[in-house]
Structure 1
Amino acid sequence: MSPRPFTVIENQWIVLTDGTRLAARIWMPDGADADPVPAVFEFLPYRKRDGTAMRDESTYPAFAEAGIAGVRVDIRGSGESDGVIDGEYTPRELADACELIAWIATQPWSNGSVGMMGISWGGFNALQVAALRPPALKAVISIASTTDRYNDDIHYKNGCHLSAQLSWAATMLAYQSRAPDPDVVGDRWRAMWMERLENEPFFLEDWLAHQRRDDFWKHGSINEDFSAVAVPALVIAGWADGYRNTPLLAVEGLGDDAKALIGPWIHKYPHFAWPKPRSDFLGEAIAWWNRWLRGDDTGQETTPQVRAYILDGVKPAPRRDVDPGFWIAKERWQPPLMQRLHLDPSGRLAVGEAATQRPVDEIFLRSPLDTGTASGEWFTLKPDAELAGDQRGDDAGSLTFETTPLLASLDLLGRPEIELTVSCDADLANLCARIVDIHPDGTAMRVCFGVLNLAHRQGNSAPRSMEHGQPTSIRLQLDACGYRFRPGHRLRLSLSTSYWPTVLPVPTDPGLTIDAASLRLLLPLLGEHRRIDVKQPDNPDPLPRYIEHVPPATARKVIRDLSENRTRYHVLEDTGLAEHPATGLSTRQLREEVWSISPGDPLSSEGLSIWTCDMQRPGWFVRTVSTARIRCTNKDWLISASVIAYEGDDKVFEKTFAETAIPRDHM
């Protein structure tokens, strides 16, 4: 079938029942008024005009050529839409999405069937909206998302406070402070901009007010009631991203109507992600939409429930363009058979019964507080130093146990677990566990990791302080992995009491006493499967080219100042200045972030994130500078923020979120 011609509607105003006007960009197949088409809807705060334009232009034209309309809408207070954003996945946002789906379904060009799609925010709200069951929503594709907003997002993880929470709060402060485009909204642009600047929230205030898994986090977590989602869901993620758990959790919770696809990728759409191999996401998505929005027989019901790329002896590198491995399929996902490893009499990890005697059963562990600088980013946008690096430096501050060199391949797919008895002389302590592939040359590749705030050992809703000095049994589930350990490699389990800057420290640094005799490592075996091929995209370079005025730049540095006894982790991400050739709008975002800590003082932890965002055309220039900080005492988190806006050379707005003390709640 030849590609269907289409028209791009650069801006379509959609007026909600409360009078709010939202801005949409629509890719419309020609002749849809006479021959109605299904539609795919994406709802984001990331600005259709500039923020997601490049990826939108790599995706929606292919849908339109297949006779599927694409409707990309800016959430309230973002891009060219009216109003002010009120948080993440709020009831108002989800209600707006349901109203927009109804609007799409009743348009004369629509066949009445709507799909919802997105990566990250758009993947989150696609699943959450599906749980609300708007009648016209027939299917979703969710990429790099979560079923549990508390434990599998950038805020908290098993009760540990993730540094990404500050990073993301700073990001959203920067995103929402940007002006709408005057070419779309006209002379209203400045009044709309001032309204946003005056009223946009500092998201971290809300997030830190909810340090337990309470109703705030249960809202939008579809694992509270998987049965609420009654439409087919294709759930996609990459092993190199922070959202790697969701596809397997989704098929476990949603059952037969859910399909999982897991590749080697970072936080990007699979048709332009790294590390390669990529997948033909556009072909997959079109077949998915044609089945569930049109009723065509495209074979979606017979697709294996889980397709996964098994990484095979990967090495960390400054940049990973291709990861070695192979694709497998499981027709139906079943909980994997777990292989149990114990410590043998020599202290090695081994299959079989636990040793009854060893030279040392109890080992005291207190990692330097800067252990973890090879952890990489929580969610990764480039296949470079954002990925976890060689683990040998972090292993130096960890307690490690490993196997002898393997005699045969060991293939894993699923979530490893450890069982362990520990004791602590304080109320709180963090524990991190990492599974590491030790290559014959000593290179140490992180396969997966998990963290636990021991006060959350029995759940995240009602944490309990540790009983001082009392042996306590814990179970820690690590993140999912798909990995082959090759013959001659060793599997290492690394335990540490710090994983900085990924995880912020608890108020004291008590260390843990580890009962080595109690250690059990449970590994999820790949089990029955078949090898498959996953089609790669026809176009190996699908992203459009914009006019580059200033090249992008990136840098990551760890500086250990021996005189000050302080470690600093520096991040620089500069998008460069790029101009959209069709709109003439040039944009640039610069992120500078610094985390610092003294390796023996948990109360010395500080984080600072600064975003500078520029928008310009000849004769028009606006800039916002957004700053967010976090530090701590033994009782409080101390947070502050500011936003400064410039029009040309003139400062036109300044707002400060004064430093606020938020009590630490078992963190």
Structure 2
Amino acid sequence: MLIEETVWIVLSDGCRLAARLWRPRAPAPVPAILEYLPYRRRDRHRGDDAILHPGLAAAGYGAIRVDMRGAGDSDGTMDDEYTPQEWADANEVIAWIAQQPWCSGAVGLIGLSWSAFNALQIAATRPPALKAIVTVCGSDDRFADDMHYMGGALLNDNLQYGATLFTWLAPPPDPEIVGERWREMWLARMQAISEPPAARWMRHANRDGYWRSGSACEDYSRIEVPVLAVGGWADGYTNAVHRLLSHLSGPRKGVIGPGAHAYSHVATPGPAFDFIGLAARWFDRWLKDVDNGIEAEPMLTAWMQEDEPPRPQYSVRQGRWVAEDTWPSANVASRTLHLGPGGLAAEAALPFAVTVKSPGTVGLASGEWCPYGWGPDMPGDQREDDAGSACFDSGPLDAPLEILGRPDVTLSVTVDRPEAILAIRLNTVAPDGTSARITYGLLSLAHRDGFAAGKPLVPGERIEVSVPLKVVGYRVPAGHRLRVAVSTQYWPLTMPLPVAATATLTAGALTLPLRGGEGAAVPELGTPWSPPPLEVEVIEAPARGRLAITHEVATGRASVEVVRNLGAIRIAETGLELRALGSETYTTRRDDPSAATSVALRTAAFRRGDWQVRIETRSTLTATVTGWRLHAEYEAFETGARVFAREWTIETPRAGAPGSAEP
């Protein structure tokens, strides 16, 4: 294949975008597959590019990786994610690609995470040359199903990812590519940071126009091209696959494996599958018009997880592949179990009252909101969290249950405070007492009537709420019990409210989507294959996940230490040394959630010979009576000397907090 390290794409306003291109040595033009994101092609994302794009080129495509405006070696500045400017630029890029002499005129989009989101967003703008997309570990709903909020509750991932983007909004371009302009471009990028991204996202605490913009679920009819949606049960973004299959009208397929947040040919836990081969077949059908029969295969293929002892890290997840011809599937039916003083039962319970006021440390077994599979970041044994929750157990199951879809819990509840959250976990309890989380959901009770606006609770007033849990595929063995665990804390997955609430439950029901029968024949997904990994010298290995949990007996203080390292490497191809390191420390008190603090540290450093630059950020989040307080520090250094520094302290009203102005 031919590899072009830097291809310049000049937009209509004169902005130049930097791209890297892999294409086969073909006598005739070939279709192109674009991945378009801000994660720098020369360094930060080079390893990911190496194990995907050469494989697409080997399948007969021009694979092109474009750094967005303001990222990598591209011109301009960047201040936020998923903007109209991002989509407008993408339309110009797609048109430019289609006009190249090596391109047949047909273009596809592929992406993971950021580029999975914008693949859907760009498809909704209908660029004429775009013929199909593959979206992996992304979302069609920016408010309800991203790492900012869940059920209207503020996630601590809003801070951790906000800190990451804060750090990577403005690193310098590579002097080897842009020359002496690099310093001027770097300073312009840093000066363009108007505020830490985490603060902006907290300011939009309801589902307003900010979140609706770029949420494909607002109008699925805008997406007309064929869509292949791929996810993993360990990832944070599995819900979108089922929604896309349910609501899109054009050709569509969904595959959900067992893996975390990564392309499925390299994702852990395994087993992985031949994602490059699957993507190539999808693009062959719609970009090359190859009659390969992929549209006749089942609409949904999913890994049905077998129950096994819960661990914070897996190399392989036990289970089997299942398939359904359509989604929603007639092979999946609802069954309702009612909550009562005796647990979960088929019949509604007599009136009861169960009260729960969870310790501030409930949630320590939650795992990360978005696991990556590189370290201990998945949910462990739930027994300690169950002890601080109101639990409703079924009897031992007479026969196995296969759950495939989205469970739902409804509750009648009264709360003694104007603010509260509910965390609901569906667990399976083994005969030895081990409790494994099947799935979970959150709801900020300020959003009990919907996400358009938050409002305080009336203490003592009974309310009816519905809490959808995350989509899941899980086989519960005979002899196990189902458990619904309800808590008023879920730390550190959420940022806790400053006052602990007591909730009294008086009725409730669990609705399960249960799969019956054999379903459709499972298509061949193939053995995972990847091009050779990037040649690097590893200085510090990548690592993600919870390193340590500490309890202070005398004070009730608890802390969680998290590592967030992409690693430190020396890249042979570019002669560049990259450091992308980070950590978080979350603290709280068992009896005083107002003491909770979340701190995120990040470092991005680049070195080649005498050229040395470094960015360091620190982000600290605390709660106030009516809102959130974020203090953020940004420093940049060239050859050890500080060249830029700025601090922000921003207080944001909390949706539904008593006495707060509406955000």
TM range (shorter): over 0.9
- Asked if 1 retains the 8 angstrom alpha-carbon contact of 2:152 and 2:443, the reply is yes
Give the drift of 1:426.
2.2
CA contact (8 A) 2:343 2:391 kept: no
C-alpha displacement at 1:540, in angstroms?
7.0
Matched, 1:525 2:514: yes
Instruction: Give the letter aligned to residue 21 of structure 1.
Output: R
User: Which residue is 2:413 aligned to?
Assistant: 422
Using the TM superposition, name which of 470-479 and 569-578 deviates more: 569-578
Aligned to 2:652: 662
Matched, 1:20 2:18: no
**1:18 alignment partner, SS class:** coil
Which among 210, 216, 221 is matched to residue 215 of structure 2?
221
Q: Structure 2 CA distance, aligned partners of 1:276 and 1:613?
A: 30
Question: How far apart are residue 383 of structure 1 and its match?
Answer: 4.8
Q: CA deviation at 1:179?
A: 1.9
Tell me, in whole angstroms, the C-alpha distance in 2 between the residues paired with 1:218 and 1:170.
23
Give, in whole Å, the separation in 2 of the partners of 1:317 and 1:353: 34
Letter in 2 for 1:523: L
Specify which of 359, 373, 380 is matched with residue 371 of structure 2: 380
Match of 2:263 in 1: 269
CA distance in structure 1 between the partners assigned to 2:564 and 2:528 by the alignment: 30
Q: Aligned partners of 2:464, 2:646: CA distance in 1, in Å?
A: 48
Distance apart, 1:162 and its partner CA: 0.8
Distance in 1, matches of 2:328 and 2:564, equals 41
Question: Within 5 A, what are the aligned runs for 1:301-320?
Answer: 301-320=295-314
1:355 aligns with 2:354: no
Q: Give the alignment of 1:344-493 within 5 angstroms.
A: 347-350=342-345, 352-356=346-350, 361-493=352-484
Q: CA deviation at 1:439?
A: 2.1
Residue aligning to 2:661: none
Whether the 8 Å contact between 2:374 and 2:543 is mirrored in structure 1 is no
- Alignment-mate amino acid for residue 183 of structure 2: R
Change (3 A) 1:260 1:552: closer
Matches of 1:239 and 1:186, distance apart in 2: 45
Contact persistence 1:278–1:536 (CA under 8 A)? no
* Contact persistence 2:6–2:19 (CA under 8 A): yes
Query: Partners in 2 of 1:312 and 1:542 — Cα distance?
Result: 32
Residues 556 and 589, structure 2, Cα contact 8 Å, conserved in 1: yes
CA distance in 2, matches of 1:102, 1:240: 36
Match of residue 341 from structure 1? 337
Deviating runs (4+, > 4 A) in structure 1? 552-555
Letter in 1 for 2:291: D
Query: What displacement does 1:199 show?
Result: 1.6
1:480 positional shift: 0.4
- Structure 1, unpaired ranges of 5+: 1-5
- RMSD of aligned Cα (Å): 1.7
User: How far apart are 1:564 and its partner, in Å?
Assistant: 3.0
Q: CA deviation at 1:408?
A: 1.0
- Does the CA-based 8 Å contact 1:320-1:383 persist in structure 2? no
1:298 is aligned to: 292
1:212 matched residue in structure 2: 206
Are the counterparts in 2 of residues 363 and 513 from structure 1 also a CA contact under 8 Å?
yes
> Could you say what secondary structure the match of 1:108 adopts?
coil
Partner residue in 2 for 1:638: 629
User: Which amino acid letter does the alignment assign opposite residue 271 of structure 1?
Assistant: H
Aligned to 1:3: none
- Asked if 1:75 corresponds to 2:72, the answer is no
Give the alignment's TM-score, normalised by structure 1: 0.95
Q: CA deviation at 1:146?
A: 0.7
1:82 match: secondary structure: coil
1:89 to 82, 106, 114: 82
Look up the SS of the partner of 2:158 in the other structure: helix
The DSSP-based 3-state class of the residue aligned with 1:255 is: coil
Output the CA distance in 2 between the equivalents of 1:586 and 1:451. 41
Shift in Å, 1:175: 1.4
In the alignment, residue 466 of structure 1 is paired with which amino acid? L
Aligned residues: 652
Kept in 1: contact 2:342–2:392 (CA 8 A): yes
Q: Distance in 2 between matches of 1:537 and 1:76?
A: 37
Deviations 1:530-583 (A, max 9, x none): 352643435378533422234445652111222333211111233432122211
Residue aligned with 2:509, SS: strand
Structure 2 residue identity aligned to 1:242: G
Greater CA drift, 254-263 or 271-280:
254-263
1:115 aligns with 2:111: no
Q: 2-side partners of 1:561 and 1:268: how far apart?
A: 36
1:541-560 matches, cutoff 5 A:
543-552=533-542, 556-560=547-551
2:578 matched to 1:587? yes
The letter for the 2-side match of 1:124 is F
Matches within 5 A, 1:495-574: 495-515=486-506, 518-528=507-517, 529-530=519-520, 532=522, 534-539=524-529, 543-552=533-542, 556-574=547-565
CA contact (8 A) 1:272 1:542 kept: no
* CA offsets 1:429-475 (integer angstroms, 9 cap, x no match): 10010011222332221110000011211210023332321221111
- Letter of the 1:521 counterpart: L
Q: Structure 1's 307 and 256: CA in aligned 2 closer, same or farther, altered over 3 A?
A: farther
Tell me the amino acid that sits aligned with residue 90 of structure 1.
Answer: T
Q: Distance in 2 between matches of 1:149 and 1:309?
A: 26
Structure 1 residue identity aligned to 2:536 = Y
Distance 2:183 2:527 in 1: 42
| Paired residue secondary structure (1:93) | helix
Q: CA deviation at 1:600?
A: 2.3
User: In the alignment, residue 585 of structure 1 is paired with which amino acid?
Assistant: L
CA contact (8 A) 2:273 2:528 kept: no
Match of 2:36 among 26, 43, 65: 43
Alpha-carbon distance in 2 for matches of 1:542, 1:275: 20
Query: 227, 233, 238: which one pairs with 2:227?
Result: 233
The Cα shift of 1:506 comes to 2.6
Match of 1:326 among 320, 328, 331: 320
Correspondence for 1:647: 638
Instruction: After TM superposition, give the deviation of residue 84 of structure 1 in Å.
Output: 0.9
SS at 1:532 equivalent: coil
Q: What's the offset of the Cα at 1:521?
A: 0.8
The answer to whether the 8 A contact 1:327-1:533 is kept is no
Q: Distance in 1 between matches of 2:577 and 2:625?
A: 45
Q: In the TM superposition, what whole-angstrom CA distance separates every residue of 1:498-532 from its partner, at most 9, and x where no partner exists?
A: 101111223422211111xx221111112341352
* Secondary structure, aligned partner of 1:337: strand
Q: Is the 8 A contact 2:51 2:531 kept in 1?
A: no
- Structure 1 segment 93-172 matched on structure 2, within 5 A: 93-172=86-165
SS class of match (1:354)? coil
Once the two structures are superposed, residues 61-105 of structure 1 have per-residue CA deviations (whole angstroms, 9 ceiling, x without a partner) of 111122200111111111111111131101111111111111111
Partner of 2:6: 11
Q: CA deviation at 1:135?
A: 0.6
Partner residue of 2:274 out of 266, 269, 280: 280
Q: 1:172 to 1:15 in 2, by over 3 A?
A: same
CA contact (8 A) 1:317 1:384 kept: no
Specify the code of the residue in structure 2 equivalent to 1:181: D
Contact 2:419-2:445 at 8 Å conserved across structures: yes
Maintained 8 Å contact 1:414/1:480: yes
Give the secondary structure class of the aligned counterpart of 1:328.
strand
Distance in 1, matches of 2:534 and 2:159, equals: 32
1:620 CA displacement:
2.3
In structure 2, how many angstroms separate the alpha carbons of the residues matched to 1:398 and 1:487?
25
Alpha-carbon deviation of 1:195? 1.4
Q: Would you say the 8 A contact 1:256–1:305 is kept in 2? A: no
CA distance in 2, matches of 1:179, 1:339: 56
